[in-house]
């Protein structure tokens, strides 16, 4: 019933088309009934020599008109019913895609891509067949059966009709049992197809890893196993159909044989005329289609019901992150306060009337508060300036035993360059994911311009944050389309300006198709550095108040990093920038540096202050300096003996990247304590865009 209610909301949108199709189908079935009567009349007339040529012509003209009616009617019911089924399939696909776009990141972590793709294709196709062909088969079988049986009883013979109905009773009972088994086996088949689709999708996405580790044969064996499972599930379904459909035809054949023998016997006895016997035989043949259609409808409805259940499971999944969650939380809190107030006054012994007035006042206050918050959330939000506040931010991923972030407290003024650094798994990416509201946080833990992110509509929040993720995902489209992805239109002047700032313009101009170059799935035709810089250009196109770069410079060379940091400084003046990196050279000239360790804010300050503390940041700096020095020594030895140094030995020395606020390379001494910071390294955080004095 739940599946029926779910699909009925779509069918109701096209109820007039369905009604027109069913009426047309009824007319076609009704017209079909007169063909046996006309042929019976002709047979009796010619046998008794009571029908002349003009009568024959009238009968033939009637058959011709019936044929035209059937042709037009069949076209119309196909147009209305099949057309509506196709429209509903499209609407379901659109609604499911729109709904999945609202789902949180956790949902896609827990559900396989191949399974979702199967629901978009195979399951929606089964639903279309159920609300299209199966509806036609069921209605046609029911109406045709009732009409034919009525004509057989009235026009031919009651006893002969009842005899013909005996196999139909057996068939109806069998199809009910058959439908339940079909439903279960079809569900198993769809699950197997989902697993196979997911395996294929994952294998093709990771084909480079498979080839690099020479795992083709191992993957093929695993695929063969999944494919065999799918084949077995398909065979389970087909075996049942292979048994049932021939069995159904046997019952139909037996019914026809019995009625022919008994009908012929009645015609010999003279209880029915030869013409009526011919008509009855045609009526029996007309019952063949309803019997077959009944079995087919049961089969299709069972498959469609299973697919509706799978699609409904997706559509009824509640997004983990959505607009209005804070509003709902606030509503519950205020409702509880109002209820507690009413209970308190009741305990103090107030009269019933007094309690009623108190509860009414509490309810009115609650409604006023919730209305105001709803208006604030749905109204036009002012643009962000970029001020960020983390207030005792604590977050634990779903299923994790320990918090990923613990009690982070930090004030980031608008226009500040904030750098976040820490060991792998320290919570750097989690921090920015929470800023984007990809996961839920408690109220008041993250504020943007003093507003809780839970009260900012998701679209408005993310529209004002430009984000470069670690994976640098690019769509299978042109470079131009990828770079302009976050804005409306494809203004080439803005695109070129963004690519120049991201140091990718010159590389693009070297491609044969330049900005119209197709990058392939996930940007496969580009190098790692080109993908990173294209992603940075895409983020710069938004010109958002807040820019987040999550380890976005890890694949670029030293010279490119220097130029990119200078460009960022020029383009991001007065706007907040958050840099996440593992290399201190990338972030050492940021206004504020946050060092995360085990999810905690272990250290906060600028480069000079953190170096003086000689803590985690100092240890990371010294370690990276040592690694760079060793790399230089190995490279020098290779040059001395004429060998080519290994790629990792040519990595840049820490500190050689250009500072965000300067355009020159600093010496190692200056890197440790920059001149502008030597006099005073107090605990106070520097003003945005300025170094500590």
In a domain, 498, yes or no: no
Q: How far apart, in whole angstroms, are the C-alpha atoms of residue 8 and residue 13?
A: 9
In sequence order, the β-bridge partners of residue 603 are 595
Strand order in the sheet with 405-412: 451-452, 446-448, 388-395, 405-412, 600-605, 592-597, 417-422, 576-580, 546-550, 465-468
Residues 266 and 337 both lie in one domain: no
Residues 302 and 418 both lie in one domain: no
CATH number at residue 408: 3.40.50.300
In a domain, 78, yes or no: yes
Phi, psi torsion values for 82, nearest 5 degrees: -65, -40
Mean pLDDT of the residues in the chain: 77
Give the total number of structural domains in the chain.
3
pLDDT of residue 656: 40
In a domain, 482, yes or no: no
β-pairing, 465-468 vs 451-452, is unpaired
Residues 397 and 295 both lie in one domain: no
Question: Does 646 have pLDDT greater than 60?
Answer: no
Q: What is the pLDDT of residues 520-574, one digit of tens each?
A: 777 777 888 888 888 899 988 888 899 999 888 877 777 788 888 888 888 888 8
Angle at alpha carbon of residue 269, lines to 265 and 271, rounded to 5°: 95
pLDDT of residue 676: 34
Encoded tokens for 138: 């069921």
Q: What is the pLDDT of residues 447-466, one digit of tens each?
A: 998 888 888 888 888 888 89
CB 276 within 8 A of CB 247: no
Average pLDDT over residues 309-330: 74
Residue bearing the bigger pLDDT, 671 or 47: 47
How far the first Cα of the chain sits from its last, in Å, is 72
Last residue of a domain, one of 264, 293, 315: 315
Last residue of a domain, one of 264, 281, 315: 315
pTM for this one?
0.69
Comparing C-alpha atoms, which of 598, 529, 438 is closest to residue 108? 438
In a domain, 554, yes or no: yes
Encoded tokens for 82: 């099949």
Residue bearing the bigger pLDDT, 327 or 469: 469
Residues 423 and 556 both lie in one domain: yes
In sequence order, the β-bridge partners of residue 600 are 406, 597
Residues 392 and 374 both lie in one domain: no
Angle at alpha carbon of residue 97, lines to 203 and 478, rounded to 5°: 65
Average pLDDT over residues 144-148: 78
398: containing domain? 388-464+544-677
Question: Does 352 have pLDDT greater than 50?
Answer: no
Question: Does 54 have pLDDT greater than 80?
Answer: no
Residues 148 and 277 both lie in one domain: yes
pLDDT tier, 440 (very low <50, low <70, confident <90, very high otherwise): confident
Angle at alpha carbon of residue 619, lines to 617 and 621, rounded to 5°: 70
Question: Does 334 have pLDDT greater than 60?
Answer: no
Residues 294 and 420 both lie in one domain: no
In a domain, 649, yes or no: yes
Residues 357 and 428 both lie in one domain: no
């Amino acid at each position: 019933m739940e599946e029926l209610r779910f699909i009925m909301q779509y069918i109701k949108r096209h109820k007039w088309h369905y009604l027109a199709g069913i009426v047309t189908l009824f007319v076609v079935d009704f017209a079909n009934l007169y063909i046996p009567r006309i042929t019976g009349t002709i047979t009796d007339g010619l046998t008794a020599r009571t029908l002349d040529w003009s009568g024959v012509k009238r009968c033939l003209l009637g058959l011709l008109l019936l044929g035209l009616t059937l042709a037009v009617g069949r076209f119309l019911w196909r147009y209305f019913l099949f057309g509506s089924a196709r429209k509903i399939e499209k609407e379901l696909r659109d609604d499911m895609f729109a709904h999945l776009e609202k789902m949180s990141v956790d949902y896609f972590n827990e559900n396989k891509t191949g399974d979702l793709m199967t629901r978009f294709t195979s399951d929606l196709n089964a639903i279309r067949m159920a609300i299209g062909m199966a509806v036609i088969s069921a209605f046609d079988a029911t109406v045709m059966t009732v009409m034919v049986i009525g004509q057989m009883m009235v026009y031919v013979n009651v006893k002969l009709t009842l005899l013909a109905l005996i196999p139909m009773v057996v068939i109806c009972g069998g199809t009910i049992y058959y439908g339940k088994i079909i439903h279960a086996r079809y569900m198993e088949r769809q699950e197997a197809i989902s697993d196979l689709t997911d395996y294929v999708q994952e294998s093709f996405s990771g084909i480079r890893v498979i080839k690099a580790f020479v795992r083709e044969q191992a993957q093929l064996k695993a695929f063969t196993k999944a494919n065999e499972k799918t084949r077995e599930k398909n065979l389970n379904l087909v075996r049942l159909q292979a048994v049932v459909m021939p069995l159904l035809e046997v019952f139909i054949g037996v019914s026809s044989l019995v009625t022919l023998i008994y009908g012929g016997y009645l015609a010999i006895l003279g209880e029915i005329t030869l013409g009526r016997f011919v008509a009855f035989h045609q009526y029996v043949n007309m019952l063949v289609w309803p019997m077959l259609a009944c079995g087919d409808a049961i089969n299709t409805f069972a498959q469609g019901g299973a697919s509706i259940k799978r699609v409904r499971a997706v559509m009824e999944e509640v997004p983990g992150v959505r607009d209005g969650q804070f509003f709902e939380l606030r509503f519950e809190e205020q409702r509880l306060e109002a209820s507690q107030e009413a209970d308190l006054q009741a305990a103090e012994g107030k009269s019933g009337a007094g309690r009623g007035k108190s509860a009414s006042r509490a309810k009115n206050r609650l409604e006023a508060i919730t209305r105001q918050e709803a208006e604030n959330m749905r109204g036009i939000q002012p643009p962000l300036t970029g001020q960020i506040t983390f207030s005792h931010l604590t977050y634990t991923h779903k299923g994790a035993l320990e918090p990923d972030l613990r009690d982070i407290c930090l004030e980031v003024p608008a226009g500040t360059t904030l750098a976040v650094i820490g060991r792998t798994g320290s919570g750097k990416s989690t921090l920015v994911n929470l800023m984007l509201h990809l996961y839920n946080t408690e109220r008041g833990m993250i504020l943007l311009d003093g507003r809780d992110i839970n009260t900012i509509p998701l679209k408005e929040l993310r529209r004002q944050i430009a984000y470069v993720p670690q994976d640098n995902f690019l769509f299978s489209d042109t470079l131009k389309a990828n770079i302009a992805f976050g804005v409306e239109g494809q203004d080439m002047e803005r695109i070129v300006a963004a690519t120049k700032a991201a140091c990718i313009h010159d590389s693009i101009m070297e491609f044969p198709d330049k900005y119209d170059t197709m990058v392939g799935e996930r940007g496969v035709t580009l190098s790692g550095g080109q993908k990173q810089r294209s992603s940075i250009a895409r983020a710069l196109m938004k010109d958002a108040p807040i820019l987040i770069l999550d380890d976005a410079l890890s694949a670029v060379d030293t010279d490119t990093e220097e130029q990119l940091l200078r460009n960022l400084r020029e383009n991001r003046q007065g706007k907040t920038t958050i840099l996440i990196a593992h290399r201190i050279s990338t972030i050492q000239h940021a206004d504020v540096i946050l060092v995360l360790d085990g999810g905690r804010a272990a250290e906060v300050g600028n480069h000079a202050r953190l170096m003086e503390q000689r803590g985690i940041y100092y240890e990371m700096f010294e370690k990276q300096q040592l690694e760079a020095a060793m790399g230089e020594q190995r490279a020098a030895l290779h040059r001395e003996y004429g060998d080519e140094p290994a790629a990792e030995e040519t990595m840049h020395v820490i500190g050689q990247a250009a500072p965000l606020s300067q355009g020159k390379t600093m010496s190692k001494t200056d890197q440790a304590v920059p001149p502008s910071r030597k006099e005073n390294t107090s605990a106070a955080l520097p003003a945005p865009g300025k170094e500590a004095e």
